[in-house]
Amino acid sequence: MKFPKILAFILLTGLLVSAAPSLPTVYVIGDSISMRYGPFLEKYVQGVWQYDRKSDDGQAAKNLDVPVGANGGDSRMVLAFLKIKTAEKAFQPDVLLLNCGLHDIKRNPETNVIQVDSVSYRKNLEAIWQLLHKRNIRLVWMRTTSVEDERHNTRSKAFKRYARDLDAYNAIADEVMRKHGVAVIDLYTFTRSLGSDHFVDHVHYDDSAMQLQAAYIAGFLQGQLPLTQQRK
């Protein structure tokens, strides 16, 4: 092949690649629940969404109760992370799939003080929405999965969690998201419908439940595709 033909071939290949439609991007920030269903979700959306998430080198997986790296942690941690992330011009996912709540409702076993009080939780969610809204990043909220008091608090010594707090914080998030017209995935109700047999410890689920969670989320994201196309 002569040089002009090689050059023409390279140029044509480049044009074909650039003309190929790019997949919309979904970026996930969540606690260890999202870390565990994440690989299944990434598999289920392959070829439809470009999947990305808050990640690390495996540090967060060493202790799922300690929010570092890929574990988004409580609402204060998510807000602090997004203040940095949204300052990056290159950060422009079509959908940001977000949850924070399980770490917010941790209670000190000695003082009963909650990690993030309800007023601060509401303010943090409002601030998160404002950050994303200014950057024209579509937020999809994930309702926090359930806590069963006896199961959790007989297995966890470092901190306590209670269903009444979870319900209250889910309700706060519902109000904030409804106020701003944010789409909500009710993973709480869906997962509860699977029954308690799928717990493997105080709050985490077995593989069959995680696969179903991921499929449920992937189905919801499918409905978001027309909205991402409107932004192009």
pLDDT confidence of residue 228: 72
> Tell me: the pLDDT tens digits for 85-144?
999 999 999 999 999 999 999 999 999 999 999 999 999 999 999 999 999 999 999 999
User: In whole angstroms, what is the distance from residue 116 CA to residue 80 CA?
Assistant: 14
Write down the mean pLDDT value for the chain: 90
- How large is the average pLDDT for residues 8-23? 48
Whether 34 shows a pLDDT value over 90: the answer reads yes
- How large is the average pLDDT for residues 205-223? 96
Burial tier of 103 (Cβ tally within 10 Å: 0-12, 13-18, 19+): buried
Contact 143, 213 (CB under 8 A): no
Helix (H, G, I), strand (E, B) or coil at 199: strand
What lies within 8 Å, CB to CB, of 105 at 6+ separation is 114, 115, 116, 147, 161, 162, 165, 166, 169
Assigned token pair, 72? 């988004």
Q: Regarding beta strands 25-29 and 50-53, do their DSSP bridges make them parallel or antiparallel, or are they unpaired?
A: parallel
Whether 14 shows a pLDDT value over 60: the answer reads no
Share above pLDDT 70 across residues of the chain, in percent, rounded to a whole number: 89
Assigned token pair, 182? 């944010």
| pTM (two decimals) | 0.88
Whether 176 shows a pLDDT value over 80: the answer reads yes
- Which has more pLDDT, 70 or 29? 29
* DSSP state, residue 130: H
User: In whole angstroms, what is the distance from residue 121 CA to residue 172 CA?
Assistant: 8
What is 23-231's CATH number, 3.30.365.10, 2.40.110.10, 3.40.50.1110, 2.40.128.20? 3.40.50.1110
User: In whole angstroms, what is the distance from residue 174 CA to residue 162 CA?
Assistant: 18
Whether 62 shows a pLDDT value over 70: the answer reads yes
User: In whole angstroms, what is the distance from residue 22 CA to residue 93 CA?
Assistant: 12
pLDDT confidence of residue 229: 62
Whether 51 shows a pLDDT value over 90: the answer reads yes
Give the residues across from 26 on adjacent strands: 51, 95
Which secondary structure element, helix H or strand E, spans residue 7, and what is its range? helix 3-19
Q: Which amino acid is at 100?
A: C
- Which has more pLDDT, 61 or 42? 42
> Tell me: the pLDDT tens digits for 145-165?
999 999 999 988 899 999 999
User: In whole angstroms, what is the distance from residue 4 CA to residue 179 CA?
Assistant: 60
Residue with tokens 């077995």: 206
